[in-house]
Amino acid sequence: MTTNKLRWAYMDHWRIDTPQGQLSQYTSVQRFDDFLKQVAALGFEAIETFDFHLGPLRELFGSLENARAFMQSRGIDRVLSLFHAVMYDERQSAPHVRSTHDHIVNYAEYIMRSSQGLGVENFIVMPAGLYYDVEPVTDDKIRACAELWNRVGEMTQKYGVKTCCHHEFFCGIRTAEQLRKFYEWTDPRYVFFYCDTAQHVIAGVDPVDLYLKLADRCGGFHMKDTLHVDLTGDYRRKPDAEVMAPTTPRWFHEMGVPGGLVDFPAMMAAMKDRGYEGWVGVEHDKADVGGGNYPESTALSACMHKQIKWGYALNQWKAGFTSFARLEEIERAFKVTAACGFDAVELNAGSGRWDPIGRPENIAINFGSADHFRLKLKDWGIHRVASTFFDPTVMSFEELHFGLNSTQPADHPRILAQARIHAEFLAELKGEFLVVRPFPSWWKEGGLTPERIAAAADCWNAVGAMTAALGLKTVLHVDALSALRTAEELERLLSLCDADNVGLCFDTAELTIAGHDVVALYRRFHERVWHFQFKDALATDTLDEYKLQNAERALVAAGGERGIQRWFGEMGTGLVDFPALLAAMRELGYAGWIIVESDKGPAPIATGMMLNSWYKQHVLDRIAA
């Protein structure tokens, strides 16, 4: 199976805050230049815009050919799509009224002639008027719309442009049955489906199912999320369902927003299954509602579309209880991380007053609040906290225990309560994954029985349900000393865990030390692997010394019988085949975080981080490209 070739475009709803208020980027060359650079910096290669921007582009650059050349000099290849911004009116332009069809076709052809030079590939239309203008929606009205767009589609193909129908939730053709009829009655040679993920969800239609039915006719996507389904008939609201509905002031959100209703992993899997190759548009209408802004919203959307995202774990900086306790040390660590090209981090849940960023209350003491902590991180070049690692088997001063065990049901309430503390704070930081150690070390627990595995599954299902309510996922991190040793035990555990809320974090070095082939293991469990920790392994535990008493010290720290000086290494220095693993991840459509680590690395700590950064940039990024 090969990786589908996707290119990403940005659907332009952008507005710029200026001393004169909000203005369009099309009001000056400088504003348009800044807009293009910001969009291109996020990896977008094209923009989609409304056809009423053709005039301003021509005025700014003298011709559309000049406008495209300017765009290409900034890294944006073309205006991929024009959204036809016609105001439907039964007097001259209503798709369900046949007497207006000639006018609509003629105006569409005028747009085709007027847009030459921009590289336009798609002409996006809303195929029917506003629902309250069209209702009752009869078969004859749907047929009339189909007849119109067959004519328009045949005409636009003469200009090398596809006519694509985009169904807003307030459009006259919105339900699954109306959509089925419309596409049955349109000519697949001339009329294409443009899948707007949020619009269909709001209308109560599953966009993944709809795409699978219309995959052969899909001309593209507008990927955006929503937090609401229209359950009260907002689609009928006059004069504008989108901005005046009482349900919510903002229907549309960035891909992957916590609580979002669009299943983007399922959509990407469906696209891969059907072999979709080509452009994918990202959209976030009205991002400024509620105090947001378009640059940040676009970056959040881009963070989702890049699929594989890179961050760095901070655990190697804290070697003991009282180390890494001063704020200036923490500031330097974050700045070094950012300088090495990692703008996201994984925190480590700690304990005690010597861990300023290991507990929410400590962060509040040192930084004031979660929001202030995020702002300070941004000052230091860190834009995301991706995840937090939580090991319940480690003693906690605050929770007054010397380690909790998921195989003991009596410990479950305390594990859940402690996990909640870190999960709630992670949600405030807009993180995504609570990474947990699912079992204690083998030397403490011994071999697992089916009953103990079932007890652990109950524990992590409770934690998974809790994190899901916060918009997070729980992932299980199996390490080299874990009581869980075999793939069969892992399979049994996963079969008992909620597949929606509990997944896996694959730590490449830990699994390799434990004797696993990481690539083969990933292929076996890839559907449940939602998170990665990348570090290399310099040796494997061939003597089963994970069974030693106090193996954390006897094996990992002291090196065991063979005196292994260092078990973990920087990427590319040991036994893990990272190129093969990354190729498998791409082949199987992995979309998520890779957190790079330097556990127990050499002094100075920055050296390990810099070596990992070099390997990522000069080996792994080239493979990905």
**In whole angstroms, what is the distance from residue 306 CA to residue 329 CA?**
31
CATH superfamily, domain 309-622, is Divalent-metal-dependent TIM barrel enzymes (3.20.20.150)
Nearest 5°: phi and psi at 49? -150, 180
User: Where are the domains positioned within the chain?
Assistant: 7-304, 309-622
pLDDT of residue 299: 60
Q: What are the C-alpha distances in Å from 399 to residues 280, 351, 394, 396?
A: 48, 9, 11, 5
Largest CA distance in the chain: 89
User: Do residues 368 and 356 make contact, with C-beta atoms less than 8 angstroms apart?
Assistant: no
Supply the pLDDT for residue 587. Answer: 84
Closest-CA residue to 211 (of 171, 270, 165): 270
Query: Cα separation of 247 and 366, whole Å?
Result: 39
Does this chain's domain 7-304 share its CATH topology with 309-622? yes
Most confident of 34-48, 147-161, 378-392: 147-161
* Digit-coded pLDDT (tens) for 258-306: 788 999 888 988 998 899 998 999 987 766 665 556 666 666 566 555 5
pLDDT at 1: 28
CATH no. for 7-304: 3.20.20.150
Task: For residue range 105-120, list pLDDT tens digits in order.
Answer: 999 999 999 999 999 9
Which is higher by pLDDT, 44 or 67? 67
Q: Residue 617's pLDDT is what? A: 83
Burial class of residue 401 (count of CB atoms within 10 Å of its CB; 0-12, 13-18, 19+): middle
pTM above 0.75, yes or no: no
The model's pLDDT over 208-262, given as tens digits with 9 standing for 90+, comes to: 999 999 999 999 999 999 999 999 999 999 988 888 888 888 898 888 777 889 9
